């Protein structure tokens, strides 16, 4: 089994301000960290959380287009990881497992939204608005208020859900088609097509900016 | 593949920056700590041992239960009275189908 590539932890902002993550003596794989957390090492979970909090939040936010919905998915995903701590065993890459949980939560959320379209209409507009909200958490130089970023965000939001999800998984995790297919429980051929369509659509939408 | 396509990924990665709120960070990390602490608490060990002890007692009790049918005997005067009454029912013994023998 291929083990996840190691990521450099990002600084964790807290109510008291920005706190730099302690420099690890050695860089563990995701799976090793999860096993350590299973055995009671809270610091291992913190390291895992630092690695994936940003990609998972971006994935949730841009997939749903709603800050509150994304927060729910993000929170439920991590709670599911925590709840599974005692029975965790390395059966797949941690990142695949993590995003598979998020995918299921997002799919449930999308189904609820489809059943009640009145309350959840105008998702495409909302994703841009929510991304503008995200700018509050970012340094000004990379704020999503940037026109090009807004255009890209709108183009992503305009993608069908399945294509948007595949594109976001690719962009946020760097996983291959087979792993993305495993996460979304789709056939690899279908996943490849969705990714191709998504990239084609986004390239077309962003042609004026490239 | 269209050469421009990877640009979408590059643009996306260049613009990515959304982070969870500090409150969310605190909530998740606290939940993780709470889960670990819960697993380490001695009361969980004590409760587990108590459940195991009750289960063991139950199994021993089941294993010691006699499996033969109730045979009677040694149950005092009530048993004797009941046996006498039961024997009165055996007095009427028809000898065959349609027999009127023994009937009043």
pLDDT number for residue A123: 44
pLDDT in tens, chain B (104 residues): 444 456 778 878 777 567 889 999 999 999 999 888 877 766 777 888 889 999 999 998 888 876 655 555 666 788 888 888 888 776 666 566 666 655 66
pLDDT number for residue A150: 81
> Cβ separation of A148 and B11 shorter than 8 Å?
yes
What contacts B6, CB < 8 A, 6 or more positions away?
A199
pLDDT number for residue A81: 93
- Name which of A153, A86, B69 is nearest A144 in CA terms: A153
> Cβ separation of A58 and B18 shorter than 8 Å?
yes
The ipTM of this complex is 0.70
pLDDT number for residue A78: 95
When scoring B2, B5, B18, B28 by the number of chain A Cβ atoms within 10 A, the one with the most, hence best to mutate, is B18
Report the percentage of chain A scoring pLDDT > 70. Answer: 72
pLDDT over 60 (residue A165): yes
Per CB-CB distance under 8 Å, the chain A contacts of B2 are 199-200, 203
Cα three-residue angle B53-B62-B67, rounded to 5 degrees: 170
Pick the CATH number of A1-121 from 3.30.450.40, 1.10.1740.10, 1.20.1090.10, 1.20.210.10: 1.10.1740.10
> Cβ separation of A75 and B40 shorter than 8 Å?
no
- Name which of A210, A202, A146, A142 is nearest A170 in CA terms: A202
pLDDT number for residue A95: 92
The mean per-residue pLDDT over the stretch A54-73 comes to: 89
CA atoms within 13 A on the CB side of A82: 23
pLDDT number for residue A180: 94
Banded model confidence at residue A131, pLDDT cuts 50, 70, 90: very low
> Cβ separation of B15 and A152 shorter than 8 Å?
yes
Of A187-196, A197-206, B73-82, B83-92, highest mean pLDDT: A187-196
* Lowest mean pLDDT across A147-156, A172-181, B1-10: B1-10
pLDDT number for residue B96: 63
State the smallest CA–CA distance between residue A160 and chain B in angstroms.
16
- Name which of A69, A64, A62, A74 is nearest A153 in CA terms: A62
Banded model confidence at residue A4, pLDDT cuts 50, 70, 90: very low
Q: What is the mean pLDDT of chain A?
A: 78
Three-class SS of residue B42?
A: helix
Pairing of strands A17-19, A12-14: antiparallel
Per CB-CB distance under 8 Å, the chain B contacts of A153 are 15
Among positive and negative, which fits the CA dihedral B49, B53, B54, B58? positive
The mean per-residue pLDDT over the stretch A179-207 comes to: 91
Per CB-CB distance under 8 Å, the chain B contacts of A198 are 8
* Lowest mean pLDDT across A53-57, A190-194, B92-96: B92-96
Pick B17's closest partner by Cβ from A71, A82, A138.
A138
> So where are chain A's domains?
1-121
pLDDT number for residue B83: 82
């Amino acid at each position: 089994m291929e083990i996840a590539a190691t990521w450099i932890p990002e600084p964790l902002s807290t109510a008291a301000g920005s706190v730099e993550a302690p420099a690890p003596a050695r860089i563990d794989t995701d799976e090793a960290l999860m096993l350590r957390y299973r055995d009671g090492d809270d610091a291992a979970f913190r390291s895992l959380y630092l690695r994936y909090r940003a990609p998972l939040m971006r994935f949730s936010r841009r997939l749903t287009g709603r800050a509150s919905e994304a927060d729910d998915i993000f929170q439920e995903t991590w709670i599911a990881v925590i709840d599974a701590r005692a029975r965790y065993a390395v059966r797949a890459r941690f990142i695949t497992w993590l995003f598979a949980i998020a995918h299921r939560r997002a799919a449930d959320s999308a189904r609820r939204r489809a059943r009640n379209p009145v309350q959840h209409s105008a998702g495409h507009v909302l994703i841009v608005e929510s991304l503008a909200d995200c700018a509050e958490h970012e340094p000004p130089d990379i704020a999503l208020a940037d026109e090009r970023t807004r255009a890209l965000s709108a183009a992503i939001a305009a993608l069908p859900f399945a294509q948007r999800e595949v594109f976001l998984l690719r962009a946020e995790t760097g996983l291959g088609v087979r792993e993305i297919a495993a996460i979304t429980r789709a056939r690899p051929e279908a996943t490849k097509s969705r990714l191709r369509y998504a990239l084609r659509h986004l390239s077309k939408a962003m042609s004026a900016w490239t | 593949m269209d050469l421009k396509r990877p640009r979408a990924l590059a643009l996306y990665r260049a613009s990515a920056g959304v982070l969870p709120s500090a409150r969310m960070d605190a909530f998740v990390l606290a939940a993780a700590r709470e889960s670990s602490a819960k697993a380490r608490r001695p009361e969980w060990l004590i409760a587990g041992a108590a459940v195991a002890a009750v289960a063991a007692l139950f199994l021993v009790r089941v294993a010691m239960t006699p499996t033969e049918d109730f045979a009677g005997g040694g149950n005092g005067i009530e048993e004797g009275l009941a046996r006498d009454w039961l024997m009165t029912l055996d007095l009427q013994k028809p000898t065959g189908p349609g027999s009127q023998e023994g009937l009043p």
